[in-house]
Structure 1
Amino acid sequence: MDYLHVYGKNFELTDPIKAYIKDAADSLLKLGLDITGINATVSADERNGKKGFTFEFDIHVAKKGNVVITQKDKDVYAAIDLALARAKKVLRRYADKIKNHKNISLEEIMAAPMLEEEIQEALNYTDEVVPTPFDVDKPISVEEAVEILKNSNKYFIVFEDKSGKTRVLYKRTDGKFGLY
């Protein structure tokens, strides 16, 4: 419980509430981030004769900084639950961001030559390449090229447009056409 510090402002912290906060903080540690400390503060508020509670998580994540989540509710346990859900959402997004942008490990670097060999092996196929005549008789518009491609069983065509540029028109998987 070194990482967790629980405080009460205008509120007497009972053992069940402390245990509930500890369980909530432990669930944040399961996200796999380098959380170095959590401060949890419970405050009692009374406005216009109505009692309410404010719960605050101040979570320190190494190399990220502090994540502060504040939640108000008329029930202290509900405030803790709502703050926990919000904290998990924020930290999960950060964890996903780290996973998607992680550095390459030494094992992955060592495996790279194997991948290169596999690519070279795949390129050395023995299938025969059949040359196809290049049909560029006269420049055509992009609209004409779309009509030609629609009416053929080809996946792409190479043509010269009206400005003299060589273009490639291809069928996309979503049914639309792409143009280079």
Structure 2
Amino acid sequence: MNVTIVGRNVELTEAMKDHISKVVSEVEKYNLGILHSIVTIEKDKRDFFTVEIIMNIPDKGTAVVHYKDKDMYAALDKAKDKLEKLLRRYHDKITDYRKKDRIEELIVEDEQDEIVEMPLDIEKPLTIDEAKEEFKNSGLYFMVFKDTEGEKRVIYRRKDGKLGLY
């Protein structure tokens, strides 16, 4: 990851640059593939330090964080906390989405494996009353039968508990 450190109206010492590099490297733990980071520290007329951290993240765009404080190190640490919160939310969103897709794939695979073939015994024609009695005694969800006219019919249990007939 490329890190650019910019100081406006403030001279950056090696200790400051090391601290900034340490802060930026701490957010790499989220494995977001950060391409480039720009850290800008600006001192205004009233001796306030404004820290701005900009990070370019693939598939996300740009993450920008600002913080203003009298102490430069405190402003940098608070900006780091805000950035970590932002990146953690994005990381959690990505990982939760991926887990959800994996679970859905597993459910679909399980459903495909559970298809069981059953023998279909519809050779003997039945009247609707005979089919109704046989269906009630069988405990099935539906039953296919051949009626007395030779047509294939389906009897099933509806959601309201009554029987339906096709």
The interval holding the TM-score normalised by the smaller chain is 0.5 to 0.7
| Aligned match of 1:86 | 82
Is 1:73 the equivalent of 2:73?
no
Q: CA deviation at 1:113?
A: 7.6
1:120-152 deviation digits (Å, cap 9, x = unpaired):
69xxxxxxx98xxxxxxxxxxxxxxxxxxxxxx
Q: Distance in 1 between matches of 2:84 and 2:14?
A: 24
Q: Which has the higher helix share?
A: 2
Secondary structure at the aligned position of 2:59 is classed as coil
Partner of 1:43: 42
Match of 2:29 in 1: 30
Cα separation, 1, equivalents of 2:67 and 2:112: 55
Q: In 1, distance between residues paired with 2:89 and 2:115?
A: 38
What residue in structure 2 maps to residue 115 of structure 1?
110
Distance 2:19 2:95 in 1: 30
Report percent identity of matched pairs. Answer: 32
Name the amino acid aligned to 2:78: L
2:51 aligned partner, one-letter code: F
| Alpha-carbon shift at residue 53 of structure 1 (Å) | 0.4
1:14 CA displacement = 0.5
How far did residue 45 of structure 1 move? 1.3
Give 1:114 deviation, angstroms.
6.2
Mapped partners of 2:70, 2:107: distance in 1 = 57
Whole-angstrom CA distance in 1 between matches of 2:71 and 2:34 = 27
Report the CA distance between 1:16 and its aligned residue. 0.7
Alignment of 1:96-175 (within 5 A): 96-102=92-98, 104=101, 115-116=110-111
Distance 1:67 1:33 in 2: 12
Per the normalisation by structure 1, the TM-score is 0.58
- Aligned-partner Cα distance in 2 for 1:16–1:89: 25
3-state SS, counterpart of residue 19 of structure 1:
helix
Structure 1 residue 22, shift from structure 2 partner:
0.4
Tell me the TM-score normalised to structure 2 length. 0.62
Tell me how far apart the structure 1 counterparts of residues 108 and 59 of structure 2 sit (CA, whole Å).
32
Structure 2: tracts of 5 or more residues without a match: 117-137, 140-159, 162-166
Q: CA deviation at 1:52?
A: 1.3
Shift of 1:118: 7.0
Hey, what does 2:14 align to over in structure 1? 15
